[in-house]
Amino acid sequence: MSGGLAISRREHTSAELRGLSSRCSDGAQVRRLLALALVLDGHSRTEAARLSGMDRQTLRDWVHRYNDEGVEGLKSRSSPGRAPALSEQQMEELRELVIQGPDPAVHKVVRWRCVDLQAEVARRFSVEVHENTIGRWLHELGLTRLQPRPVHPQKDPGAEAAFKKTSPTWSEPRSRRPRPPAP
């Protein structure tokens, strides 16, 4: 059987560790601090681990980390995560592509949709991503997935306004019409 669990750092007493645990926002760190406080109070490794809801070996690992790094070593660490699919330069190129808009002769579309951008990203950068990822990237770039409908190049706004005002089929909306007098 192994000897006692040795905590070599003596800068905190068990009461101080309990006090530190009350000020922590990380629940896992609180549990680790309380387990170490139990060990400092003289509980066996098995009993301290059981009271703290962890395995005896896990408690041993946390004691080693506490001995090496102190209270900061008991904080939960997050993994760096997956590497981004596109580099910063490629994301900037994607942003410029979206702002510039598609070339109908080259891209065969008149406005970008996420599925069109997905194909363009695969063609330009050799990166296969889901359509939802394109939408998330647009959001991160400060762009919206919604695009205005294309406008016909020969549209005449003046003729459209004149038609609305002088058309015989145009009538006042019901909410603006005067009501006939009640009989």
Say which residue, 173 or 139, is predicted with more confidence: 139
Here the tokens at position 154 are: 């020969």
pLDDT at 158: 86
**Mean pLDDT of all residues in 97-118:** 90
Domain spans in the chain, listed from the N-terminal domain onward: 14-74, 88-140
Band of pLDDT at residue 4, cut at 50, 70 and 90: low
**Cα–Cα distance for residue pair 5/44, rounded to 1 Å:** 8
How much is the average pLDDT of 137-166?
Answer: 80
CB 18 within 8 Å of CB 37: yes
Average pLDDT of the chain?
Answer: 87
- Given a contact cutoff of 8 angstroms between Cβ atoms, the answer to whether 32 and 62 are in contact is yes
159 Cα distance to chain centroid: 48
pLDDT at 34 over 60: yes
- 58 Cβ neighbours under 8 A, 6+ residues apart: 49
Gap between the Cα atoms of 170 and 167, Å rounded: 5
Contact (CB, 8 A) for 75 and 110: no
Residue range 73-97: average pLDDT?
Answer: 92
Distant-in-sequence, close-in-space partners of 56: CB < 8 Å, separation ≥ 6? 45, 46, 49
Look up residue 94 and give its two tokens: 């994607």
Higher pLDDT, 1 or 23: 23
Confidence of residue 3 (pLDDT cuts 50, 70, 90): low
**Confidence at residue 130, expressed as pLDDT on a 0 to 100 scale:** 95
Flag whether pLDDT at 1 surpasses 50: no
User: From CA 90, how far away is CA 65, in angstroms rounded?
Assistant: 40
Model confidence at 146: pLDDT above 80: no
How far is residue 85's CA from residue 156's CA, in Å, rounded to a whole number?
44
Closest CA to 31 of 47, 15, 52: 52
